Structure 1
Amino acid sequence: MTAMFEHLDRASLATTPTALEQGPIVGGGARLWVKRDDLTGLGGGGNKARKLEFLCGDALRAGARALVTVGAAQSNHCRMTAAAGARLGMEVHLILAGDGPEAAAGNQLLSALFGAQLHFTGAAESHWGELEIAREALTDQLTDEGLQPYSIPIGGSTAIGALGYATGFVELLEQCAGQHVTPSAVVFTSSSGGTHAGILAGRAALSAAGWAVPDVIAIGVAKGVNKGSPNVTDLANETLDLMQLPGVRVDPSDVEVDGRWIGNDYAVPTEAGDAAIRWAATNGGWLLDRTYSGKGLSGALGLADEGRFGHGNVVFIHTGGWPALFAADGIPA
């Protein structure tokens, strides 16, 4: 199934395949499995390594000498873009929400360590439009300076970036087959929609090839900015076009986003998310963060408690984010 990706430009950045680990029985009687995309290897690991392989491949093809991207103050995507630039010898500029701290911690510390230049906007975490305007302005400035920047939107959520999770979903189902695991559902965290679109593209490609495919459930973590059904559908179909599968389509009815575990806003911790972080640490030795994976697992556990998965197998894709724990004020015991 990997032949559909061989014609695409790709930089070697991620350590794959990542492990598929068996977890405990969860509420409702389902068996939890954890896809360890927190262990993709690049700059502390996380799901963005998969996207960046294709984004950076495209950047190198275009002759870019710098990468520009944007995110929250403790953006995992920005941290991993900084690491990709270090690996590939490219200058990296990061547009970040909030104001510059007195002392960098968490993802900011790692981004600076990787050599990235951090540009703080003062914008609120959830004001993505304001952050994107700043990215475009800096991209224009660097272009005028002759730097040939390759500009990446929030989360790397383009069709090119989504290819990373089209390949990732194929990898996951091949792994499930090899381990004799038949998942009834795959659950993951979603904000900007690129991971979701890629997973749906991979799912559609496998279904067209005759594979039995599980339900795909995104746990939304960004109020007002999580891409809705038409946006994810369009992005998934653009990804399928890049895979040279124009006859294979994703329908809006394939898009399921459960937003009940967002809480007050994006990047604002929740009691359920903190409980999921503690549960993961004590039940599997897995490290989650408070913005993404903690809320995502809280959704997966909540759905299990509701009986969504019955007594079947459910896979949670651990998208990473643990470095942000070291910038947190502390998780209540």
Structure 2
Amino acid sequence: MLDRPRSSLATLPTPLEEAGRPLEDGPRLWLKRDDLTGLGGGGNKARKLEFLCGEAMSLGSRALVTVGAAQSNHCRMTAAAGARLGLEVHLVLGGDAAEGSPTGNQLLATMFGAQLHHTGVAESHWGELEVARESLTDELAGQGLAPYSIPMGGSTALGALGYAVAFEELMGQCAQVGARPAAVVVTSSSGGTHAGLLAGRAAMVADGRLDASTAPDVVAVGVARGVTMGLPDIAQLGDDVLALMGRPAALGPDDVEVDARWMGDDYAVPTEPGDAAVAWAARTGGWLMDRTYSGKGLSGALAMIAEGRWGRDDDVVFVHTGGWPALFA
């Protein structure tokens, strides 16, 4: 599984912290602190970028190109990876350049030396943004930079491989603390983290290291329209990850659960439950979550707990994927 070029970018393993019981008669909640991966302020993208940048370096690329919303965590962390590896970084961003000095993730990306390309495209129009990324990639290739171009969120099979590895890390930590999670809950937009976790679970079951009857559900809280409508195809992306791991396809539609109730009006549009979850996290454990991604994901996890999906004898892990710099935008 790890016999692939890999750049050392993340601080691993990330902690698994107990968050107590949000409801007295509810399950014990744990946070997998992937906001503490270290790189450029931390977040889940560091795990993906280790494999993506490993390939870029092996190909002799001199520049990284990627795309995201105006306050994209992935773009900020790609900029940090480029700084670490000595690569030029170009970020294709939704929306227009803000007046005055940059804030939040854009401020950090510029500090890391990235060049920002504002498109004026709405943040939810991912297809148009990807076209802009491809156009810029062609332009930079013409300049001889041999750019390595990364789609939205780094959610290719190679990027998602980082979360197949993360699932095994998480299961080892659960065993150490005596937790037997009924579910692993994760926020999903471009789908790579979700697909990687599913592939990691399937691989451990196939290897006999995890009993299929007790393997935790992987429950995604969808925060973008595409993933709530089945785009990308999470099962196919997970099977592509398994292929990279040298294992047969194992995932089907029944393995993929995306709860779309907590997205709100659209991607990057805050919601009242999301803001309440951000406040709960801050006041309960000093955990910082953003309003676009992690806050909405946690709101879904807390709502499912309130609905009684899991009982007092259960453990539930929420994968905290980071995003706090957007709080300062």
Give, in whole Å, the separation in 2 of the partners of 1:229 and 1:167.
23
Contact 1:97 1:131 in 2 (8 A): yes
Q: Look up the match of 1:162.
A: 160
Give, in whole Å, the separation in 2 of the partners of 1:224 and 1:315.
24
Give, in whole Å, the separation in 1 of the partners of 2:42 and 2:67.
18
Name the SS of the counterpart of 2:133 in structure 1.
helix
Q: Look up the match of 2:238.
A: 236
Match of 2:11 among 3, 8, 15: 15
What are the Cα deviations for residues 251-305 of structure 1, in whole angstroms up to 9, with x where unaligned? 2110000000000100000000000000000111100000000000000000000
Give, in whole Å, the separation in 2 of the partners of 1:136 and 1:182.
44
Q: Look up the match of 1:146.
A: 144
| Count of residues in Structure 1 that have an aligned counterpart in Structure 2 | 322
How large is the RMSD of aligned CA atoms in angstroms?
A: 1.1
- 1:62-211 aligned within 5 A: 62-102=59-99, 103-210=101-208, 211=210
Give percent identity, aligned residues only. Answer: 68
Structure 2 gaps, min length 5:
none
Give, in whole Å, the separation in 1 of the partners of 2:14 and 2:251.
26
* Inter-CA distance 226–92: structure 2 relative to 1 (3 Å threshold): farther
1:143 is displaced (CA, Å) by 0.5
1:224 is displaced (CA, Å) by 3.6
* Inter-CA distance 182–229: structure 2 relative to 1 (3 Å threshold): farther
Does 2:47 align with 1:47? no
Contact 2:188 2:227 in 1 (8 A): no
TM-score (normalizing by structure 2): 0.96
TM-score (normalizing by structure 1): 0.95
State the AA in 1 paired with 2:274. G
Name the SS of the counterpart of 2:185 in structure 1.
strand
Contact 2:191 2:227 in 1 (8 A): no
Give, in whole Å, the separation in 2 of the partners of 1:227 and 1:291.
18
Give, in whole Å, the separation in 2 of the partners of 1:177 and 1:146.
50
State the AA in 2 paired with 1:47. N
Q: Look up the match of 1:275.
A: 276
1:178 is displaced (CA, Å) by 1.3
1:39 is displaced (CA, Å) by 0.1
Give, in whole Å, the separation in 2 of the partners of 1:240 and 1:48.
19
Contact 1:192 1:226 in 2 (8 A): no
Contact 2:228 2:259 in 1 (8 A): no
Name the SS of the counterpart of 1:240 in structure 2.
helix
Give, in whole Å, the separation in 2 of the partners of 1:230 and 1:79.
23
Contact 1:69 1:153 in 2 (8 A): yes
What are the Cα deviations for residues 222-276 of structure 1, in whole angstroms up to 9, with x where unaligned? 1245561771111111111111112x51121100000000001000000000000
What are the Cα deviations for residues 197-233 of structure 1, in whole angstroms up to 9, with x where unaligned? 1011001001112213200000000124556177111
Contact 1:229 1:255 in 2 (8 A): no
1:108 is displaced (CA, Å) by 0.2
Give, in whole Å, the separation in 1 of the partners of 2:261 and 2:67.
26
Name the SS of the counterpart of 1:33 in structure 2.
strand
Name the SS of the counterpart of 1:8 in structure 2.
coil
Name the SS of the counterpart of 1:23 in structure 2.
strand
Match of 1:313 among 309, 312, 315: 315
Between 1:215-224 and 1:260-269, the stretch displaced more is: 215-224
Q: Look up the match of 1:330.
A: none
Give, in whole Å, the separation in 2 of the partners of 1:137 and 1:32.
44
Q: Look up the match of 1:253.
A: 254
